Amino acid sequence: MARLVSEEDSWSAHDATVRIHAPPPPDRGGVSRDRRPGGAGPQPRALRRPHGRVQPFPLRQERLGHGSDERRRARREERPDHRPIPEPVRHRARRWPHHHPPHLRLHAPRRQDDLGAKHRTRRTYEAGARGGQGRERRERPGEILVNATAQTPKDDADLIIDGLNITERVAEIEEQGYTIVEDFISQPEVARLRHAFDTEVPITEMRAIGTDTGQTWRAHNLLAKTRAVDYLFLDRRIRALIEGVLGPRVQVNVTTLFNVLPGETRQFLHQDDGLWPIPRPHPHFVCNALIALDDYDLENGATHIVPYSHKWHDRKVDQDIETTRVVMRSGTMLMWEGGLWHGGGANTSKDRERLGFFMSHNVAYLRPQEIQLVSVPRETVKQMPTELQRLLGYHRFGIGVDGRDPIDVLYDGNVFNPTAKLAQEWRGTQDGIGR
């Protein structure tokens, strides 16, 4: 089961307890001398462990078959600084999950719980103002880390933000491809969003995938048109869920307001990550959320989904396949992985609209569908919090802008590195051109 817990720190803690038993190197007659006043004089060379640290005592030769396990254990326990080796670790090769990319490392299986609190180190998070990227610390025995709105339970080390168990929700997305969070936003928030969309965001007719009725009205590029949705992209619960699925380096992919009118037909089943021609199976690189601003039911077109279909890497889904309908109240959020097959339902009602806000994220190394760096004017971006600017693409990816942080360039407008000089200036100050 996927978790927001990394094993990296756990392995580091266990590494400190594991003693390495290897035969000593051949004696070549070398000595080391203690030249301090009153020193002990010539001493045997200190043995070194494989990673270079000096071993404080000579390692004994213990070969397989040389005595029973009980005798070898008894000899080890005679040492004055003996520390017991956890049984599940002693005869198992070490694995290093930190070799994997961060978005894969989050889903590494948990270690066995029978190691005991003495040998277990958890990665816990205190969610901070930066949307779930809290500071990391080690849990003390019997301790529960709590701040104003985020809590890490002692038993499971689950990440909980504002009452929402992020770890369990990420596990649901990993397993079945989606999760449903009821009452994600309050009804006053729904009313404010509806008012902002009615008064600030112009919408136009856009035909949905596989439909020809023209009964769906849409507005894209919302971050350039209204500030009413900024807080949703910075919501700590959304940030933690998205990063739990995709990893820490993400960006805004699509922002859409849609209104499905009566008479609209059913949308074709599709995958949201099919735009990028990456062979399956592949790591998750798209994660989407839909917030209902009306009640969604069977009559006005509740969304069709095919649970677990994000795992069907070599299978095409028939449009007549049996689906599950997502019936939800206003204020509920549906979040799903980009490979899940889904589609909007037909609005067969006579006078009921179906309004929704759609927000999509993808990993930062892929091009987004909406080019936020062009779509949102720079003067508008300057008014946003730094974290939202980063989500729009103003993050350093390799070189950045002539070696500078894109946010610095956003404010001063200088696309040239201030330390750069023309070749003739270099020649005037140096023997040759700096390279």
- Per-residue pLDDT tens, the chain, 435 aa: give them: 333 333 344 334 334 333 334 455 555 555 545 555 555 555 555 444 444 444 444 444 444 444 556 666 666 666 666 565 554 444 444 443 444 444 444 443 333 333 333 333 333 333 433 343 443 333 333 333 333 344 444 455 799 999 999 999 999 999 999 999 999 999 999 999 999 999 999 988 776 555 556 789 999 999 999 999 999 999 999 999 999 999 999 999 999 999 999 999 999 999 999 889 898 899 999 999 999 999 999 999 999 999 999 999 877 788 889 999 999 999 999 999 999 999 999 999 999 999 999 999 999 999 999 999 999 999 999 999 999 999 999 988 888 898 899 999 999 988 888 888 777 777 766 655 545
Per-residue model confidence (pLDDT) at position 313: 84
> In this structure, what token pair is assigned to residue 426?
């270099």
Query: For position 83, what pLDDT does the model report?
Result: 60
Q: Find tokens 């035909």 and name the residue.
A: 207
Based on the domain organization, do 210 and 243 belong to the same domain?
yes
In a domain, 86, yes or no: no
Q: Given this model, what pLDDT does residue 421 score?
A: 76
The answer to whether residues 419 and 383 belong to one domain is: no
Q: What is the CATH number of the domain that holds 250?
A: 2.60.120.620
Same domain, 427 and 325: no
- Residue range of the domain that includes 210: 167-394
| In a shared domain, residues 431 and 331 | no
Kindly state whether residues 248 and 238 are assigned to the same domain: yes
Q: Looking at the 3D structure of the chain, how many domains does it have? A: 2
Q: Which of 59, 419, 390 is nearest to 234 (CA)?
A: 390
Same domain, 204 and 335: yes
351 and 425 belong to one structural domain: no
Q: Are residues 384 and 251 in the same domain?
A: yes
Both 387 and 422 in a single domain?
no
* Residue 262 contacts residue 347 (beta carbons within 8 Å): yes
Q: How far are the Cα atoms of 199, 208, 211, 359 from residue 264, in angstroms, in the given order?
A: 24, 9, 8, 22
Whole-number Å distance between alpha carbons of 327 and 329: 7
Residues 237 and 326 in one domain: yes
305 backbone dihedrals φ, ψ, rounded to 5°: -135, 155
Nearest Cα neighbor of 89 from 140, 5, 17 is: 17
| pLDDT the model gives residue 114 | 37
27 part of a folded domain: no
Question: Same structural domain for residues 194 and 235?
Answer: yes
pLDDT value, residue 64: 44
Contact 159, 166 (CB under 8 A): yes
Taking Cα atoms as reference points, which of 342, 331, 335, 338 lies closest to residue 301? 342
Is residue 333 within 8 A of residue 180, CB to CB? The reply is yes
At 423 the pLDDT is 73
Residue 160 belongs to some domain of the structure:
no
Whether 345 maps to a domain, the answer reads yes
